[in-house]
Structure 1
Amino acid sequence: RVGASTLLSALQVGMYNKIPGDGREFCVCSSTAVKIRSEDGRNVSEVNISPFISNLPFGKNTECFASPDASGSTSQATNIMEALEMGAKTLLIDEDTCATNFMIRDDKMMELVHKDKEPITPFLYKVKTLSKQGISVILVVGSCGDFFDVADTTILMDSYSCYDVTNRAKQIAASRATNNGALAASRASFGNVTPRCPVGTAFNPNNGKITVRSKALIAYGDVELDLSGLEQIVSKEQTNSIALALQRLTALENGSKMTIFQVLTQLNALLDHEGLEALTNGQFDGSLARPRTFEIAGAINRLRANESFVQLK
């Protein structure tokens, strides 16, 4: 699979234009494609992760899950649910940056640990149900052939060249015992994506100071906002714009029923009409570049703020 992760890295920025000679001019993807990874320690605010996680110890609610220090599996589930909440139609996933226990669970482990005792429904079991929702998945794997059972197309990377080996993969899958859990789960529904409403007052920077320190780090008041998990941010100029967009949330009225999707769709329309000057009260700022709504949402979701969201029931 030499070259698979490299290809995915090119695809994840495939919605941006490239200069001639870049080498990635024809490596393109949908503007609604979102890179998904695990992210130990990230903040989570009121996200419904129950399609993937349930039966947590001590009865912790996964339909309205919150944590200042999410695990690898809960963070990856959160990243998927937040992407779907914002309208993602393609998920880009590399097993190298995933939580293994979130991705797969073979029949031997199922026999040892009954599903009633296991809180995680593996991603393997959910791929087909996502497809029924019109969500595509591009997944880089090199360690688990169980995904052959659920793959529509299989591409082999050999020395950075692509080969369609779908028929061979299907033959291999048919000749071996299938993952019964995956096949059974594929007939079920995916579950619910619960919309959330940002609470404007939660986004006031405590000391009033906001500094963009790098492409992946914003000092937002006295909070360090880590954006390293948002791999599709490509420049510090985009992060500058994200920091300004965050401040706009403070204008939301108390009790607003606008969801994060609606808020950022409205902002996106404003940027279409007025350009980046919409973030700077009409003043030109050459240090800005336009981010996607997915990355703005990603920053909002990762900000460590008390009671920053309420679910819209």
Structure 2
Amino acid sequence: MAYHIERTHKLTLDKPCITIKIPFERLGLDENMDQVVLSDFALRKWVNHIEALNEMIYNRSRSDKDNGAFYCFRPTNVVLQRNASFVEVISEKCYLCLMITVQLPFKNNDKAMRMLCKMLPKEVEELIAKFDIIKLNATYELVKKQNLIREWLKSNDYCAFIANGSILPRNKEGSGPLEGALPFISPEDNEVEICGLRGMGIKHGVTVITGGGYSGKSTLLDALNSGIYNHCTGDGREFVITDQSAMEISAEEGRSIKNINITPFIKWIPNSSAEQFSTDYASGSTSQAANIMEAINVGCKLLLIDEDRSATNFMIQDIKMRSLIKHEPITPFTERVRELYEAAHVSSVLVIGGSGEFLSVADQIILMDNFVPKNVTQEAKKLCEHDKPRERIPHTKWEIERNITADHFSSYPQGSGTEKLMVSTMGYLMIGDEQIDIRGLYNITSHAQLAAIAFLIRKIAISNQDRLIFLHEKIKKALEDMEREGVDIVFSSFFPGFERWLELPRINEVLSVINRMKHLDFID
């Protein structure tokens, strides 16, 4: 056993970070075990032991600073690589490592010694004694089946799967299934069997989810959005599996856009260029157009769009409005959604409840009725039989490549010799002179993942020596390093205000944050 103690950051010397290193043989573990699954399982068990420690020293009349406290990362229901729990190999010997922080009690050295030298080691021994290999193996089997379903989706014509019996609605805290919720049952026409599980398969193409208010449309889309990651046992969405490149797209009024081609959706802009569009305060339509083009650039193959979060004039324009408005710069998404699939191989799942414009271009239409899905594709297509044919519009170019110059890409504010890096609880990330609005990024799982993105961008900025920065290449290599050497390699104790926890992000979210920087020079 080993306890490695270090400072969390320079301003909190009374709150050290402790990494507990437990040899595999103490836990009866095999060295060939999947490290991410093992670490995730162990962390979820360790949280209960930390709660037990805090209950023993709790004093409601004193603050944590006066009384002392133990802290560990509380994971969401997704299985991810983290620095709070990981596997380390030392001298060819494997160790399960659990990271915690400890608030030492103010001016009470005896209690601090008792907390660190008696209480903590005793609770670690409790964890070892109660470590359940049978439940761990069941977790392995769950993740193995989730990954097999992902492989099946890749090799077949499907982009998502929702198993029968899944509980999609969330509880008030959003931390688990809603008690008493109706289990999901697939429509017969959409039912497929994968790895012994039956459920609704969503094929590549254009899928419309419709229904009345409060019928479960957005809940279904939210479940699909969460399905980019594997979920732990008891989540209710364990077998909601989605293409891992999927991104939720919305209008994001007020976001910064730099030098991107949005001509597939915006033909011209007064006093500006739609081919190299830039603004510090985007409208709903231009922001949604930019979000789609940036998602395609990242490699996204599935767009998840809810009309409630979209710009109406970007999504649709009916016949009456097309007749009335003679000079319309916006090509609505209805005109491009099929081309987007057929030419760029990007599928779309759309939640639509207020307009029938998408019915004629959809491959399949799912009606949600009180959280029960029904396939109404044929019925909906009959309603479109007498629609006036749409005008053919010229095909567009979807491929873009975006890189940046090194100018202004820095964690140092201009004229300052001290780095600046912060993540605000109000939805902003600050690095150098940048204040980045990240409130419209719905795929970030936790504050720990956002912190990891911040530290990753900072590391790329301070280590860069190139005049032209190839973003995909740099970020991909940095993420591979984090995956191989541990998420913690990007962390720096220099910056106060950060908790100690990091979670591995996707390249999609890292690029999305960089795309919202106002001072960068993008080369399209």
- TM-score (norm. length: structure 2): 0.54
**Correspondence 1:231 to 2:467:** no
Match of 1:30 among 227, 231, 243: 243
Question: Which residue in 1 is equivalent to 2:398?
Answer: 192
The alignment status of 1:295 with 2:505, answered yes or no, reads no
Structure 2 residue 383 is matched with structure 1 residue 172: yes
Identity %: 37
Q: Distance in 1 between matches of 2:338 and 2:357?
A: 13
What CA deviation, in whole Å up to 9, does each residue of 1:112-154 have, x standing for no partner? 222xx21111000001111112110000000111111100010
8 A Cα contact 1:15 1:29, kept in partner: yes
Equivalent in the alignment of 1:42: 255
How far apart are the structure 2 equivalents of 1:167 and 1:156? 12
Aligned to 1:123, which of 324, 327, 333? 333
Asked whether the equivalents of residues 483 and 504 of structure 2 are also in contact (C-alpha less than 8 Å), the reply is no
**Superposed displacement of residue 257, structure 1:** 5.6
Secondary structure at the aligned position of 2:379 is classed as helix
> Judging changes above 3 Å, is the alpha-carbon distance between structure 1 residues 106 and 68 closer, same or farther for their aligned structure 2 residues?
same
Q: CA deviation at 1:263?
A: 2.5
Q: Does 1:55 pair with 2:268?
A: yes
Aligned residues: 298
> How far, CA to CA, are the matches of 2:290 and 2:360 in structure 1?
25
Q: Is the 8 A contact 2:406 2:469 kept in 1?
A: no
How far is the alpha carbon of 1:286 from its aligned partner? 5.0
| Structure with higher strand content | 2
For residues 165 and 231 of structure 1, the distance between their equivalents in structure 2, rounded to whole angstroms, comes to 29
Q: CA RMSD in A?
A: 1.9
Paired letter, 1:148: L
Pairing partner for 1:148 from 331, 334, 359 = 359
| Per-residue deviation, 1:248 | 2.8
Query: CA contact under 8 A between 1:203 and 1:246: conserved in structure 2?
Result: no
| CA drift at 1:63 | 1.1
Contact 1:126 1:190 in 2 (8 A): no
1:39 touches 1:229 (CA, 8 Å); kept in 2? yes
Q: CA deviation at 1:106?
A: 1.4
Question: Which ranges of structure 2 fall in alignment gaps of 5 or more residues?
Answer: 1-210, 493-498
How far the C-alpha of 1:292 sits from its partner, in A, is 0.8
The structure with the larger Rg is: 2
Residue 160 of structure 2: aligned partner:
none
Residues 278, 189 of structure 1: CA spacing in aligned structure 2 closer, same or farther, 3 A cutoff? Answer: farther
Q: Which residue of 2 aligns with 1:256?
A: 468
- Which 10-residue stretch deviates more, 221-230 or 32-41? 221-230
The question of whether the paired residues in 2 share the 8 Å contact of 1:85 and 1:261 is answered with no
1:139 paired to 2:350: yes
What TM-score results when the alignment is normalised by the length of structure 1?
0.89
**How far has the Cα of 1:198 moved from its partner?**
1.9
The CA distance in 2 between the partners of 1:46 and 1:179, in whole Å, is: 35
Shift of 1:254: 4.2
Report the counterpart of residue 91 of structure 1 in structure 2. Answer: 303
Runs of 4+ in 1 over 4 A off after TM superposition: none
Distance in structure 2 (CA, Å) of the matches to 1:201 and 1:55: 29
